A and B are shown apart, each in its own frame.
Chain A
Amino acid sequence: MEDKKNYTGPLMIALQYNDLFDLDSISTSTDTDALPNGRAFTFIKAVQTVNERLVEQNKSDCLLFEVILISKECSEEIKMKVDESVKHYGLEIGKFFFCKKEELINTLQSNKVKLFLSTERDDVYEALHTGIPAALLYDQADDHVLNQLKVIFSGDVIGFSEDSLDGLSEFGFSETQIETIKTAKICMKEFAVLIGQMRRRFGQENSPLCTCVLTSWGSRNVCASALKTLREWGLDVDEAFCLAGAPCSPILAVVKPHILWDGGLLNMS
């Protein structure tokens, strides 16, 4: 493992506290109840399931998920509530960081976060733009399955050739957007390598980790190219969807991913 120093665990994922807990429904009274679940709740439960299954296989496995919590400006009161709530739900949170909005990027970089997950598309896009691996925490319905973590990689980001991506400028995509897509591919690689290693600890069936490729725009050859590239990176994905321009929301509603690596593509509306 020493020669691949960059590609070892733990797989650190950063979440924002306002995704983990639902802060909109906080009452002003200082009740001792824990904060209600937020959009990241099912994600964190799924991550914990994967960790449990990994440890079951090998007690000394160091390639595990580690979740850290980052929060932008908030009051002392909320800080305490967050801390209490994490304990209340038995969530395995490695570290807490409270920092100003401008410091978010730095904090992510200095902690060698392998993935920054957020439901805020702008945050994801901004992070990607500075080279930090970031993906969309897909907004889940409450009744989502908790015992499997689902990750979608964008087949367009991975499978499109440089020329094809440059060609998108003729169709209303800005230089910045195109550059961000290219950066996203580089960021995805390390994450894919690690996930690939994790995925191989389990069999085809009954795996707590499920990986997918979703090609929204590209042809079948773009999708095939993405599958082969991911394979080269050590990840054999389980599911693949190629839409060739068909709307992706109906498909996402069925797949119900937790992590959606779209390279900021969904930000472009």
Chain B
Amino acid sequence: LRIGDGLKMSSQNLLQHGEKDWAAAKAHFENLKSTKPRPPKPKYAVTIAVSSRTLFDMVAERKIFEEEGLEKYVQHQQEHENEPLKPGPAFPFVKALMTVNERLRNLYPDSEELFDIVLMTNNHAQVGVRLMNSINHYDLTIERFCMTGGQSPIEYLKAYMTNLYLSKDSKKVQEAIEEGIAAAIMFKPDVVTQLSETQLRVAFDGDAVLFSDESEIIVKQHGLDTFFEHEKQYENKPLAQGPLKCFLEALGKLQKKFYAKNERLNCPIRTFLVTARSAASSGARVLKTLRSWGLEIDEALFLAGAPKGPLLLKIRPHIFFDDQMFHIEGAKEMGTIAAHVPYGIGQKYNKGKLIEPEKQQK
């Protein structure tokens, strides 16, 4: 049972008022007499929460906040309220999610199993007007948002039943992961790459992203040879799950909906595993683990330690999750939208060297 399931199940108890809210919202959307799609019921949806700085490019505005303070920042945003912001690193990902939703709605018009995108920001509500104007400008299907006015978003992530949280703030992302919510820190690529407009492509690193960091600990502490021996020995023992496993699972569920309608070849979701492991010595355990979880991944790419950048350029994912900043930098340099998952032992190392002193057993 994944952590996300627990959150969604307890919310069922609040359904009493919930059903009336749902009917009223349905009424409103149907009244609009437009082709605007109605947002799905959260308990069935795959909810992606994006921060304002990942959805839009707010680098200049951020500078004002850091150099001139909160009041000036809010004032600036209000003065430029009617100027739409430029797209941020999560923008292509969000557009791809919308494409998948369109396809799902065509095949399953009554289903609530869709992507739901929530704007989750620390910003004050007054800044929100500019954000909403920008969302209108690009006609993004984002109807739910949460502007916390400075409060931590973590409890709100749970309240909105978030399956994946994307932010530029490493502290918030770490807190989210600690609370069992898949989360990553997004980076804007140095070069712009042309991405698919018909298929959502998501790439994952293996250890400490889909899987726990148990094997990575062995590499760091005992070296590669021990690692290879260990993985061969435990080939049939599934690895423990990592912070992004649930998200892969959610993608898999949606993929199966396309397969059920004979759309496997034309499926608008494609997943990739991009791992430093090598197929020969340590790859089997990974594939067997995925199989034991009942999960499929469309393409598994074993690099045996080669750099990930060039391969990612061929894949062109809308987002690439990795736990090591070294790989994130490499991806970013070559034009891949990378998202850092601050989890596990990899955080203590930089390019193979220990950053902080090793602590004794607790």
Contact = CB atoms under 8 A, between A and B. Distances in A.
B21 A246 contact: yes
A194 to B, nearest CB: 19
Interface string A252-269: 011000000000001011
B23 interface: yes
Contacts of A204: 70-71, 74, 124, 150
Nearest to B13: A249
Contacts of B125: 212-213, 227, 236-240
A224 B136 CA distance: 11
Contacts of B311: none
A241 B125 CA distance: 9
Contacts of A240: 125, 128, 145-147
A65 interface: no
B126 interface: yes
B16 A269 contact: yes
Contacts of A224: 128-129, 132-133
Interface string B143-177: 11111111100011011110000000000000000
A188 to B, nearest CB: 16
A84 B48 CA distance: 53
Contact of B144 (A167, A172, A231, A246): A246
Given A244-B39, A247-B11, A269-B20, A222 B156 contact: no
B36 interface: yes
Contact of B148 (A167, A221, A222, A239): A239
B20 to A, nearest CB: 6
A245 interface: yes
Contacts of A244: 25, 29, 38-39, 143-144
A247 B18 contact: yes
B153 to A, nearest CB: 10
Interface residues of A, number: 49
Q: For the side of the interface on B, what is the size category?
A: 35 or more
Given A227-B125, A227-B128, A240-B145, A247 B21 contact: yes
Nearest to B155: A254
Contacts of A222: 28
A217 B39 contact: no
Interface string A194-233: 0000000001110000101100111111111001100100
Interface string B18-53: 101111111111011000101101100000000000
B41 A245 contact: yes
Residue of A167, A173, A250, A253 contacting most chain B CB atoms (<10 Å)? A250
Given A167-B31, A205-B150, A247-B42, A220 B21 contact: no
A254 B129 contact: no
B17 A266 contact: yes
Contacts of B132: 220-221, 223-224
Given A167-B27, A248-B21, A249-B14, A220 B145 contact: yes
A242 interface: yes
A233 to B, nearest CB: 14
Nearest to B151: A239
A246 B41 CA distance: 6
B15 interface: yes
Contacts of B22: 245, 247
Nearest to B73: A204
B135 interface: yes
B142 interface: yes
A203 B136 CA distance: 30
Contacts of A172: 23
A251 interface: yes
Contacts of A266: 17
A212 B161 CA distance: 21
B256 to A, nearest CB: 25
A76 interface: no
A118 B23 CA distance: 26
Contacts of B71: 203-204
Contact of B160 (A160, A203, A246): A246
B74 A216 contact: no
Contact of B149 (A168, A239, A251): A239
A243 interface: yes
A164 interface: yes
Given A171-B27, A247-B22, 10 more contacts: A160-B28, A167-B28, A220-B135, A223-B145, A231-B126, A237-B125, A239-B125, A244-B38, A245-B39, A250-B161
Interface of B: 11, 14-18, 20-29, 31-32, 36, 38-39, 41-42, 70-71, 74, 124-126, 128-129, 132-133, 135-136, 142-151, 155-156, 158-161
List 5 tightest A-B contacts by C-beta distance, closest first.
A245-B25, A247-B18, A240-B125, A171-B27, A250-B159
5 contacts: A219-B29, A220-B132, A240-B145, A244-B29, A250-B158
